[in-house]
Amino acid sequence: MHGVISAGHPETANAGAIILKQGGNAVDAAVAASFASFIAESPLVNIGGGGIAQLYNPATKQPIVYDFFSTMPGLNGSYDLENIDFRQIFIDFGPAQQPFYIGRASVAVPGVVAGLCQMATEAGRLPLSEILSPAIQLAKQGATITNSSAYVMELLEPILTDTPPIAQIYTPQGRLPTVGEKLYFSDLAKTMAQIGQSGANLFYRGSVAQKIATDQTLHHGLLTKTDLASYHVISQTPISVFYRGYTILLPPPASIGGVLIAFALHLLTQIPLSTMTHNSFEHLRILTEVMRLTNISRPEWEAIYQQVLHSQTTTTAINEAITKFLSPARIADYQTKLRQTLAGESPLPEPEPSPGPSNTTHISVADADGMLVTITTSSGENAGFIVDDTGVMLNNMLGEIDLHPNGFHQLPAGQRLTTMMCPVLVLKDGEPILAAGSGGSNRIRSAILQLLSNVIDFKLPLEQAVNAARVHFEAGTTQLEGGILPAVADQFETFGYNINRWPKRNMFFGGAHAVARTDSDSQTWTAAGDKRRGGTIEVV
């Protein structure tokens, strides 16, 4: 066995499998799959987005988090906020319409090319040109539309047809393609081939950077040459949580998801979940109340983190903030509140939710040597245009209302945006046994929390742990996914909960793609893809 990979599209997973067969390690395969996802999963992610990855290298026995999420643009720039390309578009989700903003001034500094290339350089085995070859071929030969990508394209049609060049890609025959048809990215194939030869420098200081900066100037954007040239990947030590004999490794900020999942795990440590029936009312009520308390605690974390940003954003200061938020006394106080609520006391009021970008995807890879890589990427929804003849599409992170609660374009230039993305690793007795992550906006943390608990507390096989029905609590409503028994939903209503019964599984609840050892003593790996988001696996 060369390795296993789990991803959100068959052609994404296949790109990673090709590289594993060619002798690449898990990093090579994950980077190859990520670049392929910009083609195969282009309605969800693109080469102009950002991401977070976590790597366990068996040679060093050390985990490392690569933070390549987007930053606020505007370094050495001057602009008139009254005269920028920043336009509101409404996306029809059926029950409601949701506003987003697109255009050149919706673009945050893209980090994904820098992050993937740095990972390949520092921990990969193959040349970058070879790693990118599957993605380049896919861009030329066309990516097949799946049910998941067709659904997302239909939602985002106003964005994917906003300007003629992007409309030419997504509606080549005057309409969106249907399942089984293909999308082609010939200009992007050329750009990726150049990156394969020149590395990330092409994107941040070379010809592509020049074209991005020129496009921004001509069309009233905020992104400057200095923003691109100054962008850097942050390498960090993960947050470590000891949970029922397992070590859970979670990314620190810019990931808010890692901090909040760590908080939820600490609350659950005092609850004997393994004695309960999986997805029973008792089980799901506990998860609901833990999610409620996590939502309540979130503004406290954001206040602590803002103090760090306003003073000095050093690794030491961030670690001190995490330690303060997860202090034993503070956790104990919330555990008391949890017990009181479960005993019948009225729950604390929940604040307004602050979700993040909904268009994310995830890739997990393990190789024969035990190297694990888990990567989540996002581009928001897409900014609605293509940069010159590069084929490059960019993010609209600055157009995500939920990422800018204090108003658009208010952050200082160079500041990293925060994200719910949370690629996670699990160790047992110091050895890696699981890598996972999820797409899905604010549901990322509830999806990952339940996946971890399904594996650790309930010992579910990986496939079942990934695809089991989920619960999500937010804004006063308990969302119960299809597959949860009607009698359980009835009990929630009897106890006074406001619930929403979903008739079947839905991508609303995330997309948790994972790889794991077949058992703790084995060197054999298995994989599971989340069917909610087109999950697919390759075993090589």
More confident call, 19 vs 77: 19
Residue 263 has pLDDT above 80, yes or no: yes
Residue 180 has pLDDT above 70, yes or no: yes
Residue 358 has pLDDT above 60, yes or no: no
DSSP E strand boundaries for 420-493: 424-428, 431-439, 471-474, 477-480
d(CA 476, CA 292) in angstroms, rounded, equals 8
Residue 312 has pLDDT above 70, yes or no: no
Q: Tokens 């070859």 correspond to what residue?
A: 133
Q: Record the tokens describing residue 219, joined without a space.
A: 């069309």
Other Cβ atoms closer than 10 A to 312:
9
Q: How confident is the model at residue 176 (pLDDT cuts 50, 70, 90)?
A: very high
DSSP E strand boundaries for 251-401: 360-367, 372-378, 386-387, 392-393
Per-residue pLDDT, 206: 98
The catalytic residue positions are 360
Q: Record the tokens describing residue 59, joined without a space.
A: 């040679």
More confident call, 400 vs 420: 420
pLDDT digits (tens, 9 = 90+) for 121-162: 999 999 999 999 999 999 999 999 999 899 899 999 999 999
Question: pTM of this prediction?
Answer: 0.95
Per-residue pLDDT, 95: 56
Q: Tokens 């998941």 correspond to what residue?
A: 148
Q: Tokens 């084929």 correspond to what residue?
A: 391
Per-residue pLDDT, 349: 80
- Rounded to an integer, the average pLDDT of 421-444 is 93
Q: How confident is the model at residue 190 (pLDDT cuts 50, 70, 90)?
A: very high
Helix (H), strand (E), coil (C) string for 114-171: HHHHHHHHHHCCCCHHHHHHHHHHHHHHCEECCHHHHHHHHHCHHHHCCCHHHHHHHC
- Rounded to an integer, the average pLDDT of 432-455 is 94
Residue 352 has pLDDT above 80, yes or no: no
To the nearest whole percent, how much of the chain has pLDDT over 90? 82
Residue 357 has pLDDT above 60, yes or no: no
- Rounded to an integer, the average pLDDT of 322-333 is 96
Per-residue pLDDT, 173: 92
Distances (CA, A) of 91 to 102, 128, 157, 347, 483: 12, 37, 8, 34, 28
What residue segments make up the domains of the chain, in order of their start? Answer: 3-235+360-403, 256-355+443-523
Residue 472 has pLDDT above 90, yes or no: yes
What are the counts of helices (DSSP H) followed by strands (DSSP E) for the chain?
18, 22
Contact 378, 364 (CB under 8 A): no
Q: Record the tokens describing residue 522, joined without a space.
A: 């084995």
Per-residue pLDDT, 114: 98
Contact 385, 162 (CB under 8 A): yes
Residues in the chain: 540
Per-residue pLDDT, 354: 54
Distances (CA, A) of 358 to 361, 386, 508: 9, 21, 9
d(CA 1, CA 369) in angstroms, rounded, equals 10
Per-residue pLDDT, 400: 84
- What single-letter amino acid sits at 219? H
3-state secondary structure at position 278: coil
pLDDT digits (tens, 9 = 90+) for 374-393: 999 999 999 999 999 999 99
d(CA 477, CA 338) in angstroms, rounded, equals 18
Per-residue pLDDT, 79: 78
Least confident of 85-94, 277-286, 464-473: 85-94
Which residues 6+ apart lie within 8 Å of 173 measured at CB?
none
Q: Record the tokens describing residue 425, joined without a space.
A: 């690793």
Q: How confident is the model at residue 521 (pLDDT cuts 50, 70, 90)?
A: low
Per-residue pLDDT, 528: 97
Nearest one of 66, 69, 70 to 27, comparing CA atoms: 66
Per-residue pLDDT, 313: 67
d(CA 449, CA 63) in angstroms, rounded, equals 20
- Rounded to an integer, the average pLDDT of 446-473 is 97
Per-residue pLDDT, 153: 93
Distances (CA, A) of 323 to 243, 263, 317, 319: 17, 11, 10, 6
Instruction: Using DSSP bridges, classify how beta strands 234-236 and 499-501 pair: parallel, antiparallel or unpaired.
Output: unpaired
pLDDT digits (tens, 9 = 90+) for 205-247: 999 999 999 999 999 999 999 999 999 999 999 999 999 999 9
pLDDT digits (tens, 9 = 90+) for 52-101: 999 999 999 999 999 999 999 999 988 788 899 999 998 876 655 678 89
Q: How confident is the model at residue 1 (pLDDT cuts 50, 70, 90)?
A: confident
d(CA 531, CA 470) in angstroms, rounded, equals 13
Q: Record the tokens describing residue 296, joined without a space.
A: 């309540």
- Rounded to an integer, the average pLDDT of 475-498 is 96
Residue 274 has pLDDT above 90, yes or no: yes
